[in-house]
Structure 1
Amino acid sequence: MKVLHVDASAKRERSNSRALSRYFIERLRSEGVELDIDYLDVTVDIPAHVTEAFAIATYTPEQERTPAMKETLAASDALCRRLLDADALIFAMPMYNWSMPSAFKAYIDNITRTGLTYVNTEDGRIEGQLQRQKTVFITSRGADLRAAPFSSMDALTPALKAAFGFIGVANPTFVDAQPLQFSDQQARIEALERAHRELDAVAAQWANEPSQVEADEASLTA
């Protein structure tokens, strides 16, 4: 299984979301899944923010792009290719002020690309190209947003669902460790234990489900 693993926490080695994503990968291996990991840390290799030149180049038909436009889009093209080549996607991040880290938002802006990660069909629909990838979002939250008074303040989950749903990820899995910052020690321990149990279940599920490529090959030989 080729896995694109993306970390987005500024805390680096003190990060709970990074630790949880590493835990998940080890659980996949322990389930017998052979992994080919493509790793990206968007706090180190920070995607460029959208510029006027990027916006113009993106919506210029490919055959009409100048060499300068192609150069402007080269890094984004590479990010899209890494995404499309993967069989599974692991995105790990903390919640910052109710939503995603800015570096991950820049990543989304770079991978939401017409003609690459989504296409406009002849009948007027938008069709996302990431329909075959298994996807999990592993997030850490300072407060407990599962119930009032903070439940209405979760802008992260709907934003991720909307952004990735647009490019074809219809049913992503979310594992949210919460509360971790604004709580007592026992609540933090319970939050991490709960996240570990949920990741254990996702790893077992992924290990027992054939990839889309494997399913397609099986249908051809049936």
Structure 2
Amino acid sequence: MKILRVDASAKRERSNSRALSRYFLERLREQRDDIEVDYLDLTLDTPEHVDEAFAIATYTAAHERTAQMNARLAASDALCARLLAADALVFAMPMYNWSMPSVFKAFIDNIIRTNLTYRFAEDGSVVGQLSRQKVLFITSRGADLRPGSPYERMDALTPALKAAFGFLGVAAPTFVDAQPLQFADQEARTEALERARVELDAVAKQWGQRVSGRSSASASASVACTVIG
């Protein structure tokens, strides 16, 4: 199983989302011995933000692009290729001000590409090209945004992830929340991280399932994990 693991937290060793993504891969390796990880740290290798040159190039037919246009799209092309080559995607990020880090938004803007990660059917409908991949989002949140919380309606991250990756063919992501992770309440913080690890254990077991020595196609439920920076 080839996994594209993407980290987006500005923190390093103190990052909860990074720690949880490492934890998940450790548990998954206990389930199967064929794990190959392609790692991308968006804080070190940040995609360029969309500019006029990118916009013009991406909406120009491939056979009509100039060498300069192809050069502007080269990094984006490479990111799309990495996504499409993976069997599973593990995205880890903190929630910053109710939504995603800017580096991950830049990543999304670089991977939503016509005729690469999505295509148009003859009837004009969009066909996302990531429908076969398992998907896990590990996000971290300081506040408690679970149903019934005063902050519930301020969650702009979950719907944004659902919309962007749903467009690319990820139909049914699951969300596992570890929240709140405020330092003010260490007990709640500890409990939130433990809940996340328990749910990640379950996801690792699910992804580890095989049928006749192969990965089970029926076990390809996408997962999103919500946890802090």
TM-score range, shorter chain: over 0.9
Query: Contact 2:210 / 2:216 at 8 angstroms: preserved in 1?
Result: no
1:65-118 deviation digits (Å, cap 9, x = unpaired): 110000000000000000000000000000000000000000000000000000
Please state whether the residue corresponding to 1:6 is helix, strand or coil.
Answer: strand
1:11-66 deviation digits (Å, cap 9, x = unpaired): 11110000000000000011124210000000000010000000000010101111
Distance 1:131 1:188 in 2: 34
Judged with a 3 Å threshold, the aligned counterparts in structure 2 of structure 1 residues 56 and 22 are, in CA distance, closer, same or farther, namely same
Distance 1:214 1:70 in 2: 36
Distance 1:23 1:215 in 2: 22
- Are residue 188 (structure 1) and residue 189 (structure 2) matched? yes
How many residue pairs are counted as aligned between the two chains? 214
Distance 1:176 1:136 in 2: 12
Partner AA of 1:120 in structure 2 = F
**What TM-score does the superposition give when structure 1 sets the normalisation length?**
0.93
| Farther-moved stretch of structure 1 (155-164 vs 183-192) | 183-192
What's the RMSD between the two structures over aligned residues? 1.4
Partner AA of 1:189 in structure 2 = T
Q: Please list every run of 5 or more consecutive structure 1 residues that lacks an aligned counterpart in the other structure.
A: 217-222
Q: Please list every run of 5 or more consecutive structure 2 residues that lacks an aligned counterpart in the other structure.
A: 218-229
Per-residue deviation, 1:176:
2.4
Distance 1:110 1:63 in 2: 20
Distance 1:22 1:173 in 2: 19
Match of 1:48 in 2: 48
Per-residue deviation, 1:175:
2.4
Please show how residues 197-208 of structure 1 align to structure 2 within 5 Å: 197-208=198-209
Partner AA of 1:172 in structure 2 = P
4+ runs deviating over 4 angstroms: 213-216
1:126-176 deviation digits (Å, cap 9, x = unpaired): 100000000010111001100321000000000000000001111123222
Distance 2:165 2:22 in 1: 22
| Farther-moved stretch of structure 1 (97-106 vs 183-192) | 183-192
Distance 2:112 2:104 in 1: 12
Distance 2:160 2:184 in 1: 25
1:179-202 deviation digits (Å, cap 9, x = unpaired): 112641110000000000000000
